[in-house]
Structure 1
Amino acid sequence: MTGDDRFGQDVGQGRKDRLLGTSSEVVTDPVTDWASDFSHVDPVWVADPYPIQDELRRSCPIARTERFGGAWLPTRYEDVAAIAYDTERFSSRAVIVSNNKPPRELAPAGDAPPITSDPPFHREARRLLLPMFTRAVVAKQEEATRAYCHELIDAMRGRQVVDAARDYAQHIPMRVIADLLGFPPEDGPRFREFVENVLESIDQPPEERLGHQDELAAYLVTQIQGHLAEPRDDLTTYLVNAELDGRKLDPVHVVGTMMLLLIAGVDTTWSAIGASLWHLAATPADRERLAARPALLPVAIEEFLRAYAPVTMARLVKQDMHFNGVDMRADDWVLLSFPAANRDPARFERADEVLIDREENRHAAFGLGVHRCVGSHLARMELRVALEVWLERVPAFTLADPAAVTWAASQVRGPRTLPLRIL
């Protein structure tokens, strides 16, 4: 079988057949009791989850819901960390909570290696990606990223009000990921559609939701076929040629990894940049301090990552068990809220405050355990450059209308609309 033949099959349909598992009833009723019926896509949670997390941490601290076929929400750092490190009792075969639980046979690879992989498969799948995300490799992208940030701000010239989420934050990781994978930069709007379909559609029927993933897989296969016909020096060609145990990667593995890089690589950084700009717009003292002291920005970025950690991951319970006071059932979801862990006062002093000069800051924004984000160097570079350029070019700004700010209703939380007034 030639390389082209390997990817000429309907990979999307193959993924769909593998992923359809146990489905549950879609429940969209408003939450009335966060301890026994939480939903991380409820509008109240989406608008401001932190007070809810704080109350649960004091009174619960591991919440339960029967939505999504059954799920748990630990809110203390120690519980989140314990589960993140425990690969014996918790599986990563699916990391996005939805009304469909993929079959156990999907492990150990999962549908988007390595984030959905369990040991021992996970180690080698992750090792394949590490050379492409070192500090040295990431540093080579900084100049182009900085130039693109300037282009985006140039396009805003003359406008008193701009949407910093749609006009700035979202475009930066889209361009960076397109360059990494060797995709057409003009496909950026499609990336946004893919992100929203995968991460913000969890209450859709499973067949419809997986149909969206099929569309993304078909797009990725088209890109792969173009790279097979014309190899390039990029991450797509690298993955197509990569080997595990002396054999080329399975096409479903390649497509799944590219899906991970596209979705996670775009939305996490988009959200982090947007949340940081939201904070600075809403907190003039911090904005003025950073504009006057750019050298403080790397420290401030770590605090923005702690306080507004965008990512919540999921695990699936492997077997019935008792965990820290609750009885978990096999195949229950567990939402690993790194945002809640990062605001645990037992772990961080003045945890509910954003201190842009916080010196000791071992936050969990990039995850904990074997699945810690492989792209953390890239994300930090994009966030730093995006804020450096913005504060250099637009040092004075405020929220144009605080009520007009909207946030993503998904496990990756960040502003989706962020109207800022240039002062």
Structure 2
Amino acid sequence: MTVDDRFTDDFRERQIEREDLGTWNEIVTGPVSDWATDFSHMEEEYAENAHRIWDDLRARCPIAHTERFGGAWLPTRYEDVAAIAYDTEHFSSRAIIAGNYRPPLDLAPVGGEPPISSDPPFHHDARKLLLPAFTKTNVARQAVTTEAFCHSLIDALEGRELVDAATEYGMHIPIRVIADMLGFPAEDGARFKEFVEDALEGINQTLEEREERGDQLFDYLLAQIRDHLENPRDDLTTHLINAELYGQKLEPQHVAGTMALLLIAGIDTTWSAIGSSLWHLATHPEDRRRLVEDRSLRATAVEEFLRAYAPVTMARLVKQDMTFGGVEMKAEDWVLLPFPAANRDPERFEDADKVIIDREVNRHAAFGLGIHRCVGSHLARMELRVALDVWLDRVPEFTLADPAGVRWSTGQIRGPRALPLRIG
């Protein structure tokens, strides 16, 4: 097979030229003076104390504002988060990572990482292309290999007293799963971790640094595309290369953007959910003992961990000047949608601040709300369930070895990046 003309060397140059038409704002970092008027989701204080900050804002300023990142808003009530998530008329999804760079308006309705960055009506059709890969049936097939891989990770910890459950267990599970789905080499896991951190935690880098890191990701994806063109196989990458929309093959940027989305979002979200769940069990021995002794509780516990420690905050861009919730939003303002904060809203959930592992009614928003609800929710649930099942069965006794050694990720995906546990 000859290399598809869509994926020639000049694709990267065309992509960079178009992205340069966007808006770049001054980098703003440093301590927050008041979370209601100067918030920053990139600060360590936010990462470590997010729940306390959301509670405070919900009580005195439910829609916070900051001039950082060129202007951004942070609603903290379920009602407001849901209203914005469902409102595609006034809020665009053409960029979902809030930072110093706003992509050009002409990027809509496709966006850089379809379908999560796509607006209607394009979004509906782009999303449909992915649905077959994430059905319950397909996910169930992957559960067997995921379980075996989790056991192999535990095997590697045998004889150890101290382990980092974030980097030696949780991180590797979604990396292996998404690599298998995309048909990428499993040994490239370390590179995937770098791509994730660059995209989600590196938004305060300079424009030159962001472009360089973006080039590295694109070059990797282009190499994988070319390999799949020469060696087609039954995986998501080949599916995207061959997929058609409106009677034509997908544009190269659509293919590469969707691959980037699956690679980055598919890893960090589940890595964070697994780590947060293990952090909770390490710091709440009664819950740990209950789940070790009664496997029937684990399904509801997984849903409660997803609610209480939902990792994902998405972003939108305001389409035009408007009033929302009593505040004046300007065109091109960022709006963060902290689904974790919505899940902690006492107006929505009884005992919202408590983790109740046998909670019966639990319609949480961990996977988002509206048209962009996570297409991979079945996969994420499976990975979290299998990861916890194997860990609890193999490592029933564990505690937090060093509370000061826990490090939470900054940015829009929240989860432990270092989780020192004492096992056995």
Tell me the TM-score normalized by structure 1: 0.99
Q: How far apart are the structure 1 equivalents of 2:267 and 2:404?
A: 25
Q: CA deviation at 1:19?
A: 2.3
Q: How far apart are the structure 2 equivalents of 1:217 and 1:80?
A: 32
Percent identity reads: 67
Q: How far apart are the structure 1 equivalents of 2:13 and 2:398?
A: 47
Over the aligned positions, Cα root-mean-square deviation in angstroms equals 1.0
Alignment of 1:67-86 (within 5 A): 67-86=68-87
Q: Does 1:274 align with 2:275?
A: yes
Any idea what the Cα deviations from partners look like across 1:106-159, whole Å, max 9, x if unmatched?
A: 100000000000000000000000011000011110110000000000001100
- Tell whether the 8 Å contact from 1:133 to 1:375 is kept in structure 2 after alignment: yes
Q: How far apart are the structure 2 equivalents of 1:338 and 1:227?
A: 36
Q: Does 1:368 align with 2:397?
A: no
Q: How far apart are the structure 1 equivalents of 2:337 and 2:62?
A: 13
Q: Does 1:64 align with 2:68?
A: no
Q: How far apart are the structure 1 equivalents of 2:37 and 2:200?
A: 24
Q: Secondary structure at the match of 2:336?
A: strand
- Tell whether the 8 Å contact from 1:11 to 1:221 is kept in structure 2 after alignment: no
- Tell whether the 8 Å contact from 2:313 to 2:339 is kept in structure 1 after alignment: yes
Q: How far apart are the structure 1 equivalents of 2:224 and 2:393?
A: 37
Q: Does 1:134 align with 2:135?
A: yes
Q: Does 1:17 align with 2:54?
A: no
- Tell whether the 8 Å contact from 1:6 to 1:251 is kept in structure 2 after alignment: yes
What is the aligned partner in structure 2 of residue 354 from structure 1? 355
Q: How far apart are the structure 2 equivalents of 1:4 and 1:407?
A: 42
Q: CA deviation at 1:2?
A: 6.2
What is the aligned partner in structure 1 of residue 329 from structure 2? 328
Q: CA deviation at 1:214?
A: 1.7
Q: How far apart are the structure 2 equivalents of 1:23 and 1:50?
A: 30
Q: CA deviation at 1:50?
A: 0.6
- Tell whether the 8 Å contact from 2:3 to 2:230 is kept in structure 1 after alignment: no
Q: CA deviation at 1:28?
A: 0.9
Q: How far apart are the structure 2 equivalents of 1:43 and 1:359?
A: 34
Any idea what the Cα deviations from partners look like across 1:291-348, whole Å, max 9, x if unmatched?
A: 0011111100000000000000000000000001000000000000001000000000
Q: Secondary structure at the match of 2:303?
A: helix
- Tell whether the 8 Å contact from 2:65 to 2:71 is kept in structure 1 after alignment: yes
- Tell whether the 8 Å contact from 2:2 to 2:229 is kept in structure 1 after alignment: no
Q: Secondary structure at the match of 2:414?
A: coil
What is the aligned partner in structure 1 of residue 265 from structure 2? 264
What is the aligned partner in structure 1 of residue 400 from structure 2? 399
- Amino acid aligned to 1:8: T
Q: How far apart are the structure 2 equivalents of 1:142 and 1:99?
A: 39
Count of paired positions: 423
- Amino acid aligned to 1:15: Q
What is the aligned partner in structure 2 of residue 100 from structure 1? 101
Any idea what the Cα deviations from partners look like across 1:159-207, whole Å, max 9, x if unmatched?
A: 0000000000000000000000000000001000000011011111233
Q: CA deviation at 1:3?
A: 4.8
Q: Does 1:167 align with 2:194?
A: no
- Tell whether the 8 Å contact from 1:92 to 1:115 is kept in structure 2 after alignment: yes
- Amino acid aligned to 1:281: A
- Tell whether the 8 Å contact from 1:19 to 1:111 is kept in structure 2 after alignment: no
Q: How far apart are the structure 1 equivalents of 2:177 and 2:99?
A: 29
Query: Unmatched 5+ residue regions in structure 2?
Result: none
What is the aligned partner in structure 2 of residue 293 from structure 1? 294
- Tell whether the 8 Å contact from 2:92 to 2:319 is kept in structure 1 after alignment: yes
What is the aligned partner in structure 2 of residue 111 from structure 1? 112
Q: CA deviation at 1:14?
A: 2.8
- Amino acid aligned to 2:14: G
What is the aligned partner in structure 2 of residue 144 from structure 1? 145
What stretches of structure 1 move > 6 A for 4+ residues in a row? none
Q: How far apart are the structure 2 equivalents of 1:14 and 1:359?
A: 52
Any idea what the Cα deviations from partners look like across 1:375-420, whole Å, max 9, x if unmatched?
A: 0000000000000000000001000001100011120111101010
- Amino acid aligned to 1:182: G
Q: CA deviation at 1:237?
A: 0.4
- Tell whether the 8 Å contact from 2:181 to 2:235 is kept in structure 1 after alignment: yes
Q: How far apart are the structure 2 equivalents of 1:308 and 1:48?
A: 12
What is the aligned partner in structure 1 of residue 201 from structure 2? 200
Alignment of 1:192-271 (within 5 A): 192-271=193-272
What is the aligned partner in structure 1 of residue 8 from structure 2? 8
